[in-house]
Amino acid sequence: EYVDEILNNNDLNKNNITTIIIEDGITSIGDNAFMNFYSLESVDIPDSVESIGKYAFSGCTSLVSVEIPDSVESIGDAAFSNCYNLININVENNSKFNSIDGILFNKNNTSILTYPSGKPESSYNIPNTVKIIGSFAFYNCDNLNNIVIPDSVTSIGENAFYSCNSIESIIIPDSVESIGDDLFDSCDNLTSVKIGNSVTKISDSMFFYCENLTSVEIGNSVT
């Protein structure tokens, strides 16, 4: 059984729903299932749920905290994007995922998956266990003006820093070999970027709508 995006139809008054309880026995929350439920403050995900789809809770701007049960084996890209008040994604006893200070990682902390965009901190040092910054990982994290990427990171997914509007400068270290499309799309206040020597290709859309960007330093091997 599954919860699908049929819940996101126009006949449902999403603005009046503050709490959702998903019945035990549901195994999947589909893509876009609760997208733009603006008033949703809490959701109870039962231990039966095994997968959470792409954009499943995207745009749930009143959501503050989410508990990921031990049954969940997959979480789609941008599942919690545009949740501007989300502070904590909590995980306990899950074989696939982990959380540190409310930030979602894979189980062994080698991939950072979602930094909740409502967290109030202005600076974040990515742990040096991380090798992969996942797609959409820092999507719309407007409160962050400083993100430190350690030398352990080798790959950064698409849209990882999309619309991080407070960031003014960022350094991608030499350890990073690949970076995804639209990496800094809509970073309005980004003025300077340094890209290390190991990156061999960047997309045309990497700096879309970065209207204040004045300095880009890139390695000699970039094409």
pTM value?
0.92
Tens digit of each residue's pLDDT (9 = 90 or more) over 92-113: 899 999 999 999 999 999 999 9
> Which DSSP category does 16 fall into?
G
* Averaged pLDDT, 128-140: 98
* Averaged pLDDT, 3-14: 57
Cβ–Cβ < 8 Å for 45, 29: yes
Q: Tokens in use for 100? A: 């540190």
* Averaged pLDDT, 106-129: 98
Tell me what pLDDT residue 7 has.
54
Sign of CA dihedral 178, 181, 186, 192: positive
* Averaged pLDDT, 65-69: 97
Q: Tokens in use for 178? A: 């690949």
Tell me what pLDDT residue 14 has.
74
The chain-wide mean pLDDT, for the chain, equals 93
Q: Determine how β-strand 111-114 pairs with β-strand 103-106.
A: antiparallel
Tell me what pLDDT residue 106 has.
98
| pLDDT band at residue 2 under the 50/70/90 scheme | low
| Calpha distance 72→74 (Å, rounded) | 6
- What SS3 state is found at 7? helix
DSSP character string of 85-100: T--EEEE-S-SSEEEE
